[in-house]
Amino acid sequence: QSALTQPRSVSGSPGQSVTISCTGTSSDVGGYNYVSWYQQYPGKAPKLMTYDVSKRPSGVPDRFSGSKSGNTASLTISGLQAEDEADYYCCSYAGSYSWVFGGGTKLTVL
């Protein structure tokens, strides 16, 4: 299983919107609507932000939204806040009870 492809870094100013892409194949992202996104601060455990492409767990602000088109999923963060600065990882179900993660994207809030 090859890792999903994410940009290494993105940036935006407070109040702006940023979108992080996650490209896989028809065997993972394109084959299932089971893409999730995780936020990770340095030295901390990942935190679930969205799942099943576009659903949000309770407690996650609606500024975070997920989508998918073909083999590419995206996480959009609107109304950027300083606290959003973190690493973000996408994850897709890849069949046979296995998962594949993206390489991670570092979000910088300017």
Partner 1 sequence: EVQLVESGGGLVKPGGSLRLSCAASGFTFSSYSMNWVRQAPGKGLEWVSSISSSSSFIYYADSVKGRFTISRDNAKNSLYLQMNSLRAEDTAVYYCARVGSTGTLFDYWGQGTLVTVSS
Residues at the interface with partner 1 (CB under 8 A) = 1, 3, 32, 34, 36, 38, 44-48, 51-52, 57, 89, 91, 93, 96-104
Secondary structure, 3-state, 37-105? EEEECCCCCCEEEEECCCECCCCCCCCEEEEEECCEEEEEECCCCHHHCEEEEEEEECCCCCEEEECCE
Q: Which is nearer to partner 1, 28 or 84 (CB)?
A: 28
Smallest distance, Å, CB 73 to partner 1?
Answer: 13
Q: Which is nearer to partner 1, 80 or 90 (CB)?
A: 90
Smallest distance, Å, CB 10 to partner 1?
Answer: 15
Smallest distance, Å, CB 13 to partner 1?
Answer: 26
- φ, ψ for residue 76, nearest 5 deg: -110, 130
Closest to 94 (Cα-Cα) out of 103, 102, 105: 102
Smallest distance, Å, CB 31 to partner 1?
Answer: 13
